[in-house]
Structure 1
Amino acid sequence: MTQWTQVCALTDIAPDTGVCALHNGEQVALFRLGGSDQVFAIGNYDPIGKANVLSRGIVGSIGDRYVVASPLYKQHFDLATGECLEDTEAAVKAYRARVEAGLVELAS
């Protein structure tokens, strides 16, 4: 059985932006797409730029993939899988996220 942990309110994330939250001792970048309740969560640490900055990246899409562009060197990370499109060895952890009663929750 999956255990879910509340990390913030959906309204804490402006549409098409990201925020950083602490989850089980790790920085996690949370992204809200459009005005919807769709939220993605990946590790906040950019393995190429070597800094916790992905939550400050630009959200967009490449083909049918939702991505965030790192604010440092502009690599794109897939919001669903954490894969780096330019360098598959630089992937970040992807977390299962959901919205329940206006609260963003991550699977533990």
Structure 2
Amino acid sequence: MSQANALTMDMPQTQAWRVVCARQDLVLNSGVVALVGNTQVALFHVASISGTPQLFAVENRDPVSGVNVIGRGLVGSLAGDLVIASPLYKQHYRLEDGTCLEDPALKLRTWPARLAGDVVEIDVG
């Protein structure tokens, strides 16, 4: 996995969707971190079985260590769920809803994410 890149974008907001980076900044099957306001958001562009990549936005802060490292985690699949493995203590978090598979009391915040032309947007509303 390539090292996560830190991106900062202060773009105008349209409704609840906010531009966070350019499509070309994404790395397939890897994490990229963007600063949205004061929050680090890890973006994952993941190849799917159908061939259409999916886009996920989760909190970059690891709930166990408190360190911003989730964007450097490994993307995988466990029990049919797309997950990100924390690079520190190896907990697996579902990309879809941020729930930890090992301890459901742990959770990453998630945001709806989409590709809009050549930009990546998340719903901050």
Structure 1: how far apart are the matches of 2:71 and 2:23? 15
Q: Which has the larger radius of gyration?
A: 2
Aligned pair 1:6/2:45, yes or no?
Answer: no
Pairwise mapping of residues 25-104 of structure 1 onto structure 2 (< 5 A)?
A: 25-34=38-47, 36-104=52-120
SS across alignment from 2:105: helix
| Structure with more strand by fraction | 1
TM, length-normalised to structure 1: 0.92
Deviation per CA, 1:32-67: give whole Å up to 9, x if none. Answer: 112744210010000112200000000011122110
Taking CA–CA contacts closer than 8 Å with sequence separation of 6 or more, which of the two structures ends up with the larger relative contact order?
1
Q: CA RMSD in A?
A: 1.6
Name stretches of at least 5 consecutive residues in structure 2 with no aligned partner: 1-14
Moved beyond 4 Å, runs of 4+:
none
Question: Aligned partner of 1:21: which letter?
Answer: A
- Between the aligned residues of both structures, percent identity stands at 44
